[in-house]
Amino acid sequence: MLSYRHSFHAGNFADVLKHIVLVEILEHLSQKDKPFDYFDTHSGAGLYDLYSETATKLGEHQGGISKLKADKWPELKSYFDAIDGCNKDGKLRFYPGSPLIATQYLRQKDKAWLYELHPKDYQLLKQNTARHRQVIATNEDSLSNVLALIPPASRRGVMLVDPSYEIKSDYEDVFKLIKQAHSKFSTGTYALWYPVVDRQRINKLERRFINSGIKNIQRFELGLEPDSVERGMTSSGMIVINPPWKLMGKMTQLLPRLSKALDTGDGALYRCDQLVDE
């Protein structure tokens, strides 16, 4: 199924959470002189025009990034710097997806491996990353191909896994992918994004990770309203394996304030905890 396109949802509250976590991981990796590899299993187009027809159709960024102003969030300077890197006039028009955020942290010795199956988004992804020689974008199924690159030659890296979950088997498939990748590359960082549409599915996914034997797993979740089977995605979250050591402290301070800032009046909520100890 290739109907999903992230351009309809770019910059929404789920993107804000996902990309804050991603920036923290990339900053941590780039602090050391040693090279690292970045794996993006569902890359999308890489860059989104918030004034485009698709983005304005739902206007989800209005409840996400457009609610936040950089001068009010000094602790998110790096996140806003990544956004500013795609908006040369200082105004918010373009929102970077995870691939474009990652390119801002890549040095000549680092590599990015980007996967996108949607034919139109793949072409846009190639265009949006064409000037970055460290980037390899492929029109392939990451779930079938990315394991061949694990472990990376650098022995340092992060894998971001964020499918649309349009296909119910995605919940099972992402767990299997990360479990297999971790068995080959146990020191890598793995960041899994998930939507809360059916809480039972998320509870099952979390139990699988808790019982997997994998150590050092943290969970960060942000919701705009309580769980509801009638209202689509009410929350989204990140499961992070081998997170940067400062990530939990930062998110513990950040998420209560962020949930208040993005609250729509329906009871915003957050979770920030250690699913499995080190």
Active site positions, annotated? 162
Distance CA 157, CA 188 (A): 5
Which tokens belong to 234? 């009410």
DSSP E strand stretches across the chain: 37-40, 47-49, 94-96, 111-115, 135-138, 157-161, 189-196, 217-223, 235-241, 269-276
Other Cβ atoms within 10 Å of 101 Cβ, number: 26
Contacts of range 84-88, beta carbons closer than 8 Å, 24 or more positions apart: 86/47
Distance CA 45, CA 129 (A): 9
Is residue 132 a contact partner of residue 47, using CB atoms and an 8 Å limit? no
Distance CA 107, CA 105 (A): 6
